[in-house]
Each structure stands twice: as C-alpha cells, then as structure tokens.
C-alpha cells in the first residue's frame, strides 16, 4: 500500500481502490450530524468549510454505513478503529458499529470521553456539553494495544508507603502510575494555540498522540479517511508511523499537504 499520500475525494470512492486488510489503525472524525455548516476563512483566501447537515439521523447513518464497511474491509485483522463523534449521534453510531456486518458488539473496546473547556453560552436548562465521544473497536480479539499510563495523585498528596507500590513525587504532590482511564482531559486547539491552522473542528495533536501510541507501532500504517487539516497524519509522521489521508474538500487536502510537507522538511 502506497503511504505518505493524501487522496482528495469522497472516501467511499477512494477506499474502493485499497486492498483488503492493509492498514493497522483507522481514526475518523467525520461529520457528526450536528446540523451545522462549519467554515473559516483560510489565510490563502480559500474557504475552508464542510457541511454537516442530514435530513435526520437515519439519513446520517445511511451515509456513513457504506463508508464504514469500506473502512472495516481495509483494516488488518490486528487493527483498531476509532470513531470520533458526539452526543448528536454517538448512541446510534454505536448500534451501527455493533452490527455483525461491521465490527460486532464483541469487538467494542472503549467509549472514550474527550473532555475539554470551551467558551459559549451557559445553558439554563441543562448541563454544559463539554465532551466528545470516541468509540474504539478492534477488528478481532487479537489486536495491537500498548497500554498507556497516567498519574493518580494520592489523597492529601502525601505518600501512602504501601508495601510493593512504587510512588513518585512532582510539584503537585505524591502519586502512583495507573493504567490510563477512558476519560481524557485535553485542551482544544484554542485561538492562540501554536497548533492552530484555522481549520474548523481541528483536533489537538495530544489527542491523536494517545490514540496512535496506544493502537499502533512504529512503521505501522495509520489511515484517516476524513482527515481535514491532517492532524492524524502529522502525529503519525512525528511518531514514525506510515500514514494515508483522504478528504473530500480540496481546501482541506491542500492545507494537510502543506502541513505534512513542512513537517518533512
Ligand atoms: C470534522 S472534520 C475533520 C477535522 C480533522 N480531524 C482535523 O483535525 O483537522 C471532517 C472532515 O471530513 C471531510 N469529509 C466530509 N465528508 C467526506 C467524505 N465523504 N469523504 C472524505 N472526507 C469527507 C470534510 O471535508 C472535513 O474536512
């Protein structure tokens, strides 16, 4: 499989030319069924936009299903699949992915909550919606997973001194290291962030670093079939993975190509 390429076009069409079982990791951050039109003016006077409007949830799922079938087909038996979405459709998407004609209920591994802070109005009649959902499926029971660790601070930030438990101390206090949990607090790409490329819904590199580190090894092939500004591809490149991107928007492909070119200089 040729890597280091960004294919411009509908991923349904592009994926048909990929052979079966050829990529190690798929991450997608497709339209969410949010009923919005996302756009920002790029620096190069090219409008960076995409529409996320479907008549109803059924129409959204009908649109996604054939694309998901292709993604499932191209994933290696040892591969993993991450679907980034939010409250608009995550529950319907899970039912779809649980189907035996896709990943199957038994191959569901995690529902990751990506928690962030962002501005916006304070709703009066419900809680503020401040997380996205990322569904993780493996293709089979035998899949790559490099467990990540995180700090768990001791109560009172003091040492416990339990027998056989290794403890560490940093500027905040004493902690142990535990297996990473399924809720991740990671900042969004803010207005002043150095990562910012002015692409609507651009995701932070730190989020993709976790996904790619956990579910692939150096030299593996990472595919993002809705790659937008190329966040997944840039992180894959930094982590010494091979990568393939697809996006239907010529402006997105141009931006992602420039991003990757600058990284490879
Ligand atoms: C939410 S954005 C992805 C943002 C990306 N994760 C980033 O960090 O920049 C969704 C992308 O899907 C693309 N898209 C929508 N429908 C598509 C399709 N059928 N095939 C390929 N790309 C598509 C849009 O052009 C848009 O760039």
Query: What span, in angstroms and rounded, lies between the C-alpha atoms of 137 and 107?
Result: 5
Give every CB contact of residue 155 below 8 A, 6+ residues apart in sequence: none
Question: For residue 264, what pLDDT is reported?
Answer: 82
The dihedral of CA 237, 133, 49, 194: what is its sign?
negative
Alpha helices (H) in 53-126, listed in sequence order: 57-74, 90-98
Q: State pTM to two decimals.
A: 0.95
Closest among 84, 11, 79 to 221, alpha carbons compared: 79
Query: What span, in angstroms and rounded, lies between the C-alpha atoms of 90 and 246?
Result: 22
Burial of 79 (0-12, 13-18, 19+ CB in 10 A): buried
- What is the total residue count of the chain? 265
Question: For residue 133, what pLDDT is reported?
Answer: 98
Please check whether residue 80 lies inside any domain of the structure: yes
Atom number, ligand 1, closest to the C-alpha of residue 32: 1
- Closest CA to ligand 1's atom 16: 248
What average pLDDT does this structure show over 156-177? 96
Q: How many domains does the chain have?
A: 1
Query: What span, in angstroms and rounded, lies between the C-alpha atoms of 203 and 148?
Result: 20
- Any ligand 1 atom below 6 A from CB of 50: yes
Closest among 243, 240, 216, 235 to 1, alpha carbons compared: 243
Query: What span, in angstroms and rounded, lies between the C-alpha atoms of 130 and 205?
Result: 18
- Any ligand 1 atom below 6 A from CB of 132: no
Please check whether residue 169 lies inside any domain of the structure: no
Question: For residue 52, what pLDDT is reported?
Answer: 76
- Any ligand 1 atom below 6 A from CB of 11: yes
Query: What span, in angstroms and rounded, lies between the C-alpha atoms of 236 and 216?
Result: 9
Give every CB contact of residue 265 below 8 A, 6+ residues apart in sequence: none
Question: For residue 125, what pLDDT is reported?
Answer: 96
Question: For residue 260, what pLDDT is reported?
Answer: 97
Q: In angstroms, what is the span from residue 124 Cα to ligand 1's centroid?
A: 32
- Contact present, 248 and 222 (Cβ < 8 Å): no
Closest among 67, 184, 176, 93 to 131, alpha carbons compared: 184
Please check whether residue 172 lies inside any domain of the structure: no
Please check whether residue 183 lies inside any domain of the structure: no
> 31-75: per-residue pLDDT in tens?
987 777 777 655 554 566 777 788 899 999 999 999 999 999 999
Query: Domain range holding 253?
Result: 5-121+129-144+189-264
Question: For residue 53, what pLDDT is reported?
Answer: 81
What average pLDDT does this structure show over 7-26? 98
What average pLDDT does this structure show over 199-223? 97
Query: What span, in angstroms and rounded, lies between the C-alpha atoms of 189 and 198?
Result: 10
Q: What's the whole-number average pLDDT of the chain?
A: 94
Q: Are strands 23-28 and 5-8 parallel, antiparallel or unpaired?
A: unpaired
Atom number, ligand 1, closest to the C-alpha of residue 30: 10
The answer, yes or no, to whether residue 206 has pLDDT greater than 60, is yes
Please check whether residue 72 lies inside any domain of the structure: yes
> 98-155: per-residue pLDDT in tens?
999 999 999 999 999 999 998 777 899 999 999 999 999 999 999 999 999 999 999 9
- Any ligand 1 atom below 6 A from CB of 249: yes
Question: For residue 46, what pLDDT is reported?
Answer: 59
What average pLDDT does this structure show over 200-208? 96
> 1-15: per-residue pLDDT in tens?
899 999 999 999 999
Q: Which of 7, 53, 252 to mutate to test the pocket of ligand 1 (most atoms within 8 A of CB)?
A: 252
- Any ligand 1 atom below 6 A from CB of 189: no
CATH of the domain at 94: 3.40.50.150
Closest among 33, 84, 79, 39 to 59, alpha carbons compared: 33
- Any ligand 1 atom below 6 A from CB of 10: yes
Question: For residue 85, what pLDDT is reported?
Answer: 96
Question: For residue 213, what pLDDT is reported?
Answer: 98
Question: For residue 38, what pLDDT is reported?
Answer: 73
- Any ligand 1 atom below 6 A from CB of 237: no
Q: In angstroms, what is the span from residue 31 Cα to ligand 1's centroid?
A: 7
Please check whether residue 225 lies inside any domain of the structure: yes
Please check whether residue 258 lies inside any domain of the structure: yes
Please check whether residue 38 lies inside any domain of the structure: yes
- Any ligand 1 atom below 6 A from CB of 48: no
- Contact present, 205 and 14 (Cβ < 8 Å): no
């Amino acid at each position: 499989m040729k890597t280091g390429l960004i294919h411009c076009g509908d991923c349904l069409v592009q994926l048909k030319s990929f052979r079966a079982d050829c990529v190690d990791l798929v991450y997608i951050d497709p339209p969410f069924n949010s009923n919005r039109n996302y756009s920002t003016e790029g620096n190069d006077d090219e409008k960076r936009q995409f529409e996320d409007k479907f008549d109803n949830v059924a129409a959204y799922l009908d649109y996604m299903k054939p694309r998901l079938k292709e993604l499932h087909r191209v994933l290696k038996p040892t591969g993993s699949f991450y679907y980034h979405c939010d409250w608009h459709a995550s529950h319907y998407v899970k039912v779809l992915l649980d189907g035996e004609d896709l990943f199957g209920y038994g191959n569901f591994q995690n529902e990751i909550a990506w928690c962030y802070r962002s501005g916006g109005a304070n709703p009066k009649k419900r809680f503020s919606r401040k997380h996205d959902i990322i569904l993780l499926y493996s293709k089979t029971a035998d899949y790559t997973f490099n467990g990540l660790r995180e700090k768990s601070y001791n109560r009172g930030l003091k040492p416990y001194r339990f027998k056989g438990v290794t403890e560490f101390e940093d500027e905040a206090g004493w902690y142990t290291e535990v297996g990473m949990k399924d809720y991740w607090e990671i900042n969004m790409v803010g207005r002043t962030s150095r990562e910012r490329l002015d692409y609507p819904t651009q995701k932070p590199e730190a989020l993709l670093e976790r996904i790619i580190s956990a579910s692939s090894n150096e030299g593996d092939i990472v595919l993002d079939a809705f790659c937008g500004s190329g966040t997944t591809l840039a992180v894959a490149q930094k982590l010494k993975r091979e990568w393939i991107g697809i996006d239907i928007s010529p402006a997105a492909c141009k931006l992602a190509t420039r991003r990757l070119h600058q990284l490879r200089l």
